[in-house]
Structure 1
Amino acid sequence: MGRTDNAKRNLIWGFIQKIVSVLIPFVSRTIMIYVLGMEYIGLNSLFASILSMLSFAELGIGSALVFSMYKPIADGDDDKVCALLAFYRRCYIVIGTIIVGCGLVILPFLDKFITGDVPSDTNIYVLFLIYLFNNAVGYFLFAYKQSILIASQRIDLVSKVNLIVSFFLNVLQIAALLIFRSYYAFIIILPVSTCVSNLWIAYVTKEHYPQYICKGMIGKEEIKVIAEKVGGLLCQKIGNIVLCNVDAIVISSFLGLRILGIYNGYFYVISTLMGFLYIIQQTLIPSVGSSIAKESKEKNYKDFSKFQYIYMWIVSWCSVCLLVLFQPFIGMWQGTENMLGIEIAVLMTWYFFVYKMGDMSYVYKEAIGLWWQGKYIPLISSMVNLVLNISLVQIIGLPGIIISTIISAICVNTPFGSRVLFKHYFNSNKLWLRFLRDVFIWFVKCLVCCGITWICVSPVGNGIIGMAIKAFACIIIPNLLLLAFNFKNAEFKEAFAFGMGIIKRKSKRRKSMSNMNQKCFTVSNIRTEIRGGVELSYL
């Protein structure tokens, strides 16, 4: 199948899976707030952040191995793919062992990460061990086989499995909360679902790609290439882990579990939006990787500009929706007593925009494998974030946590992260400066859209009806403004033509399938008439 067809299929199933994995956990989280309390949400967030920090042990081997599989899969070199898979399995066993060991080392110091009281009916050490088992078990249980599906551009199969498992996991967790009203009953289901998911994906991989089994050895040169990529990915992995997870640990340590739980509600909203956008990224990476291997740099830069344009339109629109709907939604969901000030909503919206504005350069760097070239950037960014986190939280409290991430993204991540792509692949400093200029222009456009939309909806009250009116306004006003800003741009015309091309291709395919079905129907009728005549003659 073509790259566009693969990307479209993966995108559709990725979104379906994400919708289910957002809506059901949303219900589960809501029930937890009202059945157990906000402290449990904070505890859940803290443990998830600590264990995400431990996942540095993966070192980015998964991404490096998937990247190494693109070419042999495209060339039909099954022996090399099998050797890479065997190497991947051995690495994952070592990684799982390291994660368990690091988790056991951290176990005695858990109480140091929490300020204030812990729920009286819980043992944080037992809960942490359950989380640790869930985090590590996948490495021992066929998680490496998922790489085959990703490298083969069949992420839709992974999405289907995750969709079903996630649905039943959350249904069981909701039932456990309502029946037993116990956090232990809620959390024990998690490792069971992880085991089921990994076993199922292993089965699906074997059904679709039986030729790929763990056998053979890769050469020393291949190991050297992978080790170099892993070296670059290690820095990126550590940097991203610190950047994404240190906030929760700092909030718990300085402000307590309740504030962390309330903040996590706001972060849950933007992380959900980020999750949908992440589907777009993951869908594009295999297709971009295939294009990088086959097309010219000029063609790939043209595609990059087109994708960046479409993506920034989506990010800008999402930012407007966040600013306008944040507070009404949180008030209806968590209750007005569990709301933070409007300044937090504004900062979280800004956080979302600056965190996503460099995503397309990340997609291309990931597809090309430019990990080593930008290895120090995530480390520098995470260190800036960590130092500012600890400093500003003691001066201005919770806003300091968000501001520190915004500063690290604006000053380090986006400018220097994107430069790696333009220096080492597109080989153009001029194109890099143009990229930064375009990002700034998008920020100004987004700021104007946010301001005008906010002014237009400010007279509207809250509640279900008020929120529905604001949501409708968010669909219409910012998109009309963005259309007014962009309709004369060459990038807009290319993006529009790209979208129309997909629609026409889909329409043409449907027409072709309809004609084929009609022909099959006609042939079937002729055969039936012939068969009927024979049967009649026989009688």
Structure 2
Amino acid sequence: MGRTSKFVLNAISTALLQIVTMVAGFITPRFLLVAYGSDINGLISSINQFIVYFNLVEAGLSSAAVYSLYKPIAEHNYNQINRVVVAARNFYVKSGFIFVGLVFLLAFVYPWITHTEVLDKGTVFCLVLVLGVNGALEFFTLAKYRALLTADQKTYVISTASIVYTILNTLIVVILSTLRVDILLLRIVALISIFARSLILYIYIKIHYKFIDYKVAPDNSAMDKRWSALYLQVVQTVQNASPAVLTTLFSTLKMVSVYSVYNMVLAGINGVMSVFSTGVSAGFGELLVKKDMKAFSKAYKDFEYLYYMAMSIVYGVTMATILPFIQVYTKGVNDVQYVNIVFAVLFVLNGVFYNLKTPQGMLVIAAGLYKETRIQSTIQAGILVVGGVVLGYSFGLTGVLVASCLSNFYRCVDLLFFIPKNVTHLPILPSLRRMVETLVVIVLICAASWLCLPFHPNTLMTWVGYAFCNLVLAVLLVMLFHVLFERSNIHIVVDRVRSIFKRK
């Protein structure tokens, strides 16, 4: 199976996963909000973000393992593949025990650093432990499979298993919350879904990777890049978890719930964007290992062009439709004000900056340039944490979001110069132009939506119709823009579509 075919299969499966995840992400918080209120919804979101930080004990392992597997997989060196997989498994087990210890520590401390009138401290203690089990199972079961499948450009297998997990988890939450089952019991029963995902991956590996032998001597040197990759993952973790944690410290659980609802939307949008990049870093990593720079340069330029085109459509529609969605989604939940245009703009802007750097950031992973980007990653994390504390203390959630925007903006600028100098050796100007064009087109889509579609949906179904109209409008505007201003590159879209249908 060629790189394009693998990309298409990975993209389709990832798209299905993101659709399922988005639908589930909209359904489950809504049922939790209605059944248990904003306090408990905010509490669960806050605990989960603290637990995300503990995943730093795994930081760099996955990236190091995937990078170390590129070459032996390309050369069909089964002995070396086994040695890397065994080394990764051993490190994951050790990290898993550290993770469990941190979860127990949080369970003891968390009831005393937060305040809620709906649950006693004992229940909060147990809830932290139950939510931590999900992460612990990742270390002991899923992680070693994920590294192998990612390096082999078979993320569609992971996506399929995750679809099963997401559907099963959603069904459990919906049914039990409708029955008003105790929130702690609900979370315990929901653990069934993670076991199902692990079982699917275990069976697939057993069938399709029969050469895997866990008795060989581990190649611990393959994990050397782990400590360099650590910084990159620290930034990603800080980026994802800090806003909810800082909001917990400087605001109320109700505001954490507000954050979680907006973040749910943007997480779904980022998931949509990941459809276009999932598995791509492995393909670029293979080209770099083979030193096929001609194919690499063409593939990267094509990818960057297509990614920014897709991004302008996705985020243009998001900005035009997010507030009507929040209004419909939180209808009937009146214990805190969810509809806020400032939050909407800042969340979308942060998402735009986060995704603008994806083409360049993907190459940091593909080329294994973790050590070379330590300083920049530290600065990015520092902007978010220090800025979040200073601005969050004064302005609450708004301040935290501004700090997050500044952090991602800095990283965009940094990677814009770093990647051409160290990896692609291509001129900077085309990438900068496409970034600016993406921002301009997003604004144009919003303006066109407000002018051409002056409609305010009041139900989920009418919102779906409204969003679809915005999508059609956005696609037409983007295609018109690229025909007028990117005529020399529009053939990339046609060529890629033709290659997909020829393979079918």
| TM-score, structure 1 as length reference | 0.87
Unaligned stretches of 5+ residues in structure 1: 510-539
* Aligned residue-pair number: 499
- Alpha-carbon separation, structure 1, partners of 2:113 and 2:502: 55
What one-letter code is carried by the residue in structure 1 that aligns with 2:493? Answer: F
3-state DSSP class of the match of 2:210? coil
2:472 corresponding residue in structure 1: 476
The residue number in structure 1 matching 2:55 is 55
**Paired residue for 2:414?**
416
Find 1:499's aligned residue among 489, 496, 499.
496
Q: Is the 8 A contact 2:150 2:279 kept in 1?
A: no
The answer on whether the counterparts of 1:232 and 1:372 sit within 8 Å (CA) in structure 2 is yes
Partner residue in 1 for 2:347: 348
Q: 1:260: which partner in 2? A: 256
Q: Is the 8 A contact 2:35 2:180 kept in 1?
A: no
Offset from partner CA, 1:284-303 (integer Å, 9 cap, x none): 12222223333632432222
Q: Which residue of 2 aligns with 1:537?
A: none
- Whether contact under 8 Å (2:26, 2:264) holds in the other structure is no
Which range moved further: 150-159 or 205-214?
A: 150-159
Amino acid at match of 1:366: I
Of 278, 295, 312, 1:316 maps to 312
CA contact (8 A) 1:239 1:381 kept: yes
Alignment partner of 1:455 out of 451, 455, 461: 451
Give 2:12's aligned amino acid.
I
Q: Is the 8 A contact 1:173 1:185 kept in 2?
A: no
Equivalents in 2 of 1:276, 1:298: separation in Å? 29
8 Å CA contact 2:28, 2:173 repeated in 1: yes
**Alpha-carbon distance change, 20 to 122 in structure 1, aligned in 2, over 3 angstroms:** farther
Pair 32,218 (structure 1): closer, same or farther in 2 beyond 3 Å: closer
Contact 1:92 1:140 in 2 (8 A): yes
Contact 1:487 1:493 in 2 (8 A): yes
* Cα contact 2:353–2:408 (8 A) shared by 1: yes
Q: CA RMSD in A?
A: 2.2
The residue aligned with 2:323 is 327
Structural mapping, 1:322-401, within 5 Å: 322-335=318-331, 337=334, 338-401=337-400
Aligned equivalents of 1:475 and 1:279: distance in 2?
A: 17
User: Is the CA contact 2:25–2:264 (under 8 Å) kept in the aligned structure 1?
Assistant: no
Asked if 1:279 is matched to 2:278, the reply is: no
Once the 2 structures are TM-superposed, how far is the Cα of residue 436 of structure 1 from its aligned partner? 2.7
Structure showing greater Rg: 1
> What is the alpha-carbon distance in structure 1 between the residues aligned to residue 452 and residue 307 of structure 2?
25
Q: Which whole-Å CA distance do the structure 1 matches of 2:186 and 2:116 have between them? A: 23
Q: Quick one: percent identity of the two aligned structures? A: 20
Q: What are the superposed Cα offsets for residues 54-98 of structure 1, whole Å, 9 maximum, x if unpaired?
A: 000002111211111121112111111111111111101110011
CA distance in 2, matches of 1:434, 1:29: 41
Alignment match, 2:38:
38
1:67–1:367 contact (8 Å) kept in structure 2: yes
Q: 2:424 aligns with which of 411, 426, 430?
A: 426
Q: CA deviation at 1:151?
A: 1.9
Question: What residue is the counterpart of 2:136 in the other structure?
Answer: 136
Asked if 1:217 is matched to 2:214, the reply is: no
CA distance in 1, matches of 2:493, 2:90: 47
Q: Distance in 2 between matches of 1:461 and 1:170?
A: 29
Q: Cα deviations across residues 101-140 of structure 1 (Å, max 9, x unaligned)?
A: 2222333321354256454597211110112222112322
1:497, distance to aligned residue in structure 2 (A): 2.9
SS class of match (1:374): helix
Larger mean CA deviation between 261-270 and 194-203 belongs to: 194-203
| Alpha-carbon distance, 1:28 to partner | 2.3
- The 8 Å contact of residues 68 and 222 in structure 2, kept in 1 or not, is answered as no
Q: CA separation in 1, counterparts of 2:451 and 2:136?
A: 49
Separation in structure 2 between the aligned mates of residue 468 and residue 203 of structure 1, nearest angstrom: 38
Give the letter aligned to residue 494 of structure 1: H
CA distance in 2, matches of 1:437, 1:113: 47
The SS at the match of 2:371 is: coil
The answer to whether the 8 A contact 2:60-2:226 is kept is yes
Give the counterpart letter for 1:245 in structure 2.
Answer: A
TM-score by length of 2: 0.93
2:235 to 232, 239, 244: 239
* Distance (whole Å) between structure 1 residues aligned to residue 22 and residue 476 of structure 2: 28
**CA-to-partner distance for each residue in 1:500-524, whole Å, 9 max, x for gaps?**
3224414xx4xxxxxxxxxxxxxxx
Partner of 1:522: none
* Separation in structure 1 between the aligned mates of residue 490 and residue 25 of structure 2, nearest angstrom: 39
CA distance in 1, matches of 2:464, 2:49: 34
Query: 2:151, 2:282 within 8 Å by CA — same for their partners in 1?
Result: yes
Tell me the residue number matched to 1:405. Answer: 404
State which drifts further: 117-126 or 177-186: 117-126
Q: Secondary structure at the match of 2:424?
A: coil
Structure 1: how far apart are the matches of 2:363 and 2:118?
44
Counterpart Cα distance in 1 of 2:282 and 2:193: 27
Answer yes or no: is the 8 Å Cα contact 1:169–1:189 preserved in 2.
no
For residues 331-383 of structure 1, what are the alpha-carbon distances to aligned partners after superposition, in whole Å with 9 as ceiling and x for unaligned? Answer: 11112634232121122221111111011112222122121111222221111
Mean CA deviation greater in 304-313 or 284-293: 284-293
Three-state SS of the structure 2 residue aligned to 1:36 is helix
Residue 177 of structure 1 aligns with which residue? 177
Q: Please report how far the alpha carbon of residue 195 of structure 1 lies from its aligned counterpart in structure 2 after TM superposition.
A: 2.6
1:427 and 1:478 mapped to 2: Cα distance? 33
> How far apart are 1:29 and its partner, in Å?
2.0
Letter in 2 for 1:63: S
The aligned counterpart of 1:519 is none
